[in-house]
Each structure stands twice: as structure tokens, then as C-alpha cells.
Homo-oligomer: A and B are copies of this chain.
């Protein structure tokens, strides 16, 4: 019984998280009401509040998930950097993957908006994540650049990261024709 309850509890927490994730991706956090989530998850609002005292907490959990997913993906790509695949192709691939994860990148922008519009805690976490992602990219570039270009690594990493984020915005706005391959080539030239 106790066990069963616990399991059920865990299930519910995950259920809420998944449902919220889906809805946040579709409509953004601000436009998703807790009623929406409860209804779609098939639980009561009371239950939702049992697991998340505040909408904010729910957002935090989702943001954490989201950032970790990105980090994991970046690490996976960097592994390829050391393999025999052409670096330029890898970078172009990163661009395309990030940008095409349409729902996910929508969530990314929604969360950024949340952070910027006053959520200090969320802002802190985003800042930390960006730093980590920047470092990961730097590591990647370090492995592929010739010695005489090592000094460019910080600038390159920053360029890549900012450009990817910016591309994500343009893609969301409907500009789906950016020359990702050329951009990657110019960067790595």
C-alpha cells in the first residue's frame, strides 16, 4: 500500500511534468493555466497543488529538464567532433538539430522570456547553463582547430552559441532558409 502509493505519487509527478511540458511547448507557460494541465493530465487541480505548491515550481522543474536535455545533446555532438566526421558538417548538424526541434525551441524562448521578465532564479540557472554550453563548445573547437588558431576559440564558441540561439529565433519567426552549411563553413574556415 505505502509502496503502491509512493509509486502512484511518483507517477503523478511525472504525469504532471510531461503534461505541462507538452502544453508549455505548444502555448507557452503564461498561456497555459494550471486548469489546462490538470484537465489534460486527468487529475484534479488539488492533486496538482499537492505536488507543486506554485506554478513557478512547475516551471523550474520543466526548465531544468529542458536545459539538461540540451546539455546532453551538446555532449553527444562533441563526441562526434573527435571522430572522423568533418567538423563543419557536425556544426551544421548542430544548427539544424537545434533549430528544427521546433516545439522544444519554442519552450526555450518561452522560458527565456519568463527569466527576463523578472524571474531572478530562472535567470541564474539560464546563465549557468549558457556558460556550461559555451565551455562545451570551446572544448569541441579546441579539438579540431590547429594550434595557431587556438586564440580564436573563445570568440568562436561565443559566435557559434549566440548564432545558434539567434537562428532559433529566426526559425521560430518563420525564416526557415538560413544557410546553415555555409554559416558553419565560414565559422570554421
User: Which A residues lie at the B interface, using CB under 8 A?
Assistant: 27-28, 30-31, 106, 109-110, 112-113, 115-118, 123-124, 126-127, 130-131, 152, 154-156, 158-159, 161-167, 169-170, 172-175, 178-179, 182-183, 185-187
12 A-B pairs (CB sep. < 8 Å): A28-B116, A113-B113, A123-B174, A127-B174, A130-B170, A155-B185, A155-B186, A161-B166, A161-B170, A162-B167, A163-B166, A165-B169
Contact across chains for B173 and A112 when beta carbons are under 8 A apart: yes
Max chain B C-beta neighbours (<10 A), residue from A28, A31, A164, A175: A175
Asked whether A109 lies within 8 Å of B116 as measured between CB atoms, the reply is yes
Given contacts A109-B112, A162-B167, A165-B170, 18 further A-B contacts (CB under 8 A): A28-B113, A28-B117, A30-B30, A30-B117, A106-B116, A112-B172, A124-B174, A126-B173, A154-B179, A155-B179, A155-B186, A158-B178, A159-B163, A162-B164, A162-B165, A164-B166, A165-B169, A169-B169
Q: Are B166 and A183 in contact (CB under 8 A)?
A: no
